[in-house]
Amino acid sequence: MILTGVLLAVIGLGLVGWFAARARARLLYTGRGSMHSMPGYHGWHMALWILVPGLLTWAVWSGIMPGLVNGAVMADPAAAQLPAEEMHRAAILAEAQTLAANPDAVAFDAKSQALAEPMRAAQTRFGFMGAALILIAALAGGGYGFTRVRARFPARTHVERAVLALLLAASLMAILTTFGIVASLLFEAGLFFKDVSPIAFLTGTHWAPGNARGVDIDGNFGAVPLFWGTIYIGAIIAMLVAIPLGLMSAIYLTQYASSTVRKWIKPTLEILAGIPTVVYGYFAALTVAPIIRDFAGSLGMANPSTESALAAGLVMGVMIIPFVSSMADDALAAVPRAMSDGSLALGATRSETIKKVLLPAALPGIVAGVMLAISRAIGETMIVVMAAGASARLSANPFDSMTTVTYQIVQMLTGDQEFNSPKTLSAFALGLVLFVVTLILNIIALRVVKRFREAYE
């Protein structure tokens, strides 16, 4: 609570500093060329000297304060009765924290009630201590900044550097988050592979995590049916729909359509990309799947299931069309006009030109687009959750219900789950496989696109 107030105070100080430094710099201004930087830059320079130390101290203190508070509470005589087990103790401390913040709450565990008072005291003590430190840092920074308001001081250059640092930090944020995700995936997957051998996981053909108990743990974590379902739905059925339709629509749009037609069709096609996947999901489950089931029935299949790989794959393919089409569109547009002119001037028809010159020249770009599309399709979740079914089955029959990696991840992590069982942890191993595969697809696709660009520049 106190820390939030201090945060606002630091921001307020920054604002005050901005105005103060700018006002002082204005007094120094005696005419053209009398100052290195305009007063506004001095304002920003000052504000940065307040905000950066203040916020850094705040961030550091926010990080270490819970530890300090817990340490103080553990030193309290009431803490002597706490159980030694880590998780249990953490739960009681967390409850004490809630009680400290809200005295009217009813304690679930009497031990935490006893700790509420020491907790509150420690929070107040360390809160004030932190507030003082933060304000000292901000004021000290601000004081230093204020002494720098001089006519010759290059505030503009310094602010420029701060902007650079800010932009760098912003771009690093996404990268760091990715590393964080990879690290957590690796860590959890590592826990899983302590219980289940990676070989059994990657090559086993029986997937029944619910049955995995005791000795036969390896035999129930064979993920091959999931990989097969993922590839069959995302990389085969969906691509059989998306590649021809996407490619043909790209050819039509770039080579044949008049600008009026293109103006209407292109945005409409892009709307497909904007539909939430959950909407595709229930379209697949409620509209497409029953039609396919009836069709399977009319083909003479006994007991066709409502959920089928075909329903999920078809709808996923439609979802991917704009993706393939816009990548192919770019690739075709990147082929110089001189190529098609050369072919037309030799007396080739338009479709001969497209087939023999444009498509081969654009092929690398198109292949890259398809790979990105596949990596999107195999990571897609909602459609398969709703329409593909849950049975881990190795089957080539598109009317069978199948399951995918993403579907199983959802299964393993939703609902009441014990967090340390191999069943739950398997989600992370599956996620890791998915991550590695899509990463490889993306890297290859980007390299192909890069080489292709170089060829024409």
Tokens of 152: 């010759």
Residue 395 CB partners (closer than 8 Å, separation 6+): 402
What's the min distance (Å) between Cβ of 457 and other proteins?
13
What's the min distance (Å) between Cβ of 341 and other proteins?
6
Q: Which is nearer to other proteins, 185 or 335 (CB)?
A: 335
Q: Which is nearer to other proteins, 343 or 401 (CB)?
A: 343
If binding is defined by CB under 8 A, does position 453 make contact with other proteins? no
x-marked contacts with other proteins along 342-381 as a string, rule CB under 8 A: xxxxxxxx--x---xx--xx--------------------
Q: Which is nearer to other proteins, 340 or 403 (CB)?
A: 340
x-marked contacts with other proteins along 284-323 as a string, rule CB under 8 A: ----------------------------------------
Q: Quick one: which segment of 218-226, 308-316, 341-349, 368-376 binds other proteins (CB under 8 A)?
A: 341-349
- 278 within 8 A of 356, measured Cβ to Cβ: no
What's the min distance (Å) between Cβ of 367 and other proteins?
15
x-marked contacts with other proteins along 241-260 as a string, rule CB under 8 A: -----------------xx-
Residue closest to 341 by CA, chosen among 332, 353, 359, 331: 353
Q: Which is nearer to other proteins, 179 or 256 (CB)?
A: 256
If binding is defined by CB under 8 A, does position 387 make contact with other proteins? no
What's the min distance (Å) between Cβ of 358 and other proteins?
10
Q: Quick one: which segment of 95-103, 183-191, 288-296, 336-344 binds other proteins (CB under 8 A)?
A: 336-344
- Binding test (CB under 8 A) with other proteins, winner from 341, 417, 420, 453: 341
Q: Which is nearer to other proteins, 108 or 256 (CB)?
A: 256
Q: Which is nearer to other proteins, 297 or 342 (CB)?
A: 342
Helix/strand/coil (H/E/C) assignment for every residue in the chain: CHHHHHHHHHHHHHHHHHHHHHHHHHHHCCCCCCCCCCHHHHHHHHHHHHHHHHHHHHHHHHHHHHHHHHHHHHCCHHHHHCCCCHHHHHHHHHHHHHHHHCCCCCCCCHHHHHHHHHHHHHHHHHHHHHHHHHHHHHHHHHHHHHHCCCCCCCHHHHHHHHHHHHHHHHHHHHHHHHHHHHHHHHHHHHHHHHHCCHHHHHHCCCECHHHCCHHHHHHHECCHHHHHHHHHHHHHHHHHHHHHHHHHHHHHHHHHCCHHHHHHHHHHHHHHHHCCHHHHHHHHHHHHHHHHHHHHHHCCCCCCCCCCHHHHHHHHHHHHHHHHHHHHHHHHHHCCHHHHHHHHHCCCCHHHHHHHHHHHHHHHHHHHHHHHHHHHHHHCCHHHHHHCCCCCCCCCCCCCCCCCHHHHHHHHHCCCCCCCCHHHHHHHHHHHHHHHHHHHHHHHHHHHHHHHHHHCC
Neighbours of 266 (CB within 10 A): 16
If binding is defined by CB under 8 A, does position 339 make contact with other proteins? yes
Q: Which is nearer to other proteins, 359 or 394 (CB)?
A: 359
Residue whose pair of structure tokens reads 């897609």 in the numeric block? 380
Q: Kindly determine how many residues on this chain lie close enough to bind other proteins according to the rule CB under 8 A.
A: 21
What's the min distance (Å) between Cβ of 248 and other proteins?
21
- Binding test (CB under 8 A) with other proteins, winner from 338, 396, 418, 454: 338
Q: Which is nearer to other proteins, 74 or 265 (CB)?
A: 265
What's the min distance (Å) between Cβ of 351 and other proteins?
11
What's the min distance (Å) between Cβ of 333 and other proteins?
15
Q: Which is nearer to other proteins, 294 or 352 (CB)?
A: 352
Residue 51 CB partners (closer than 8 Å, separation 6+): 10, 11, 14, 138
Q: Which is nearer to other proteins, 123 or 340 (CB)?
A: 340
What's the min distance (Å) between Cβ of 178 and other proteins?
36
Residues lying near other proteins in the complex (CB under 8 A) are found at: 258-259, 336, 338-349, 352, 356-357, 360-361, 455
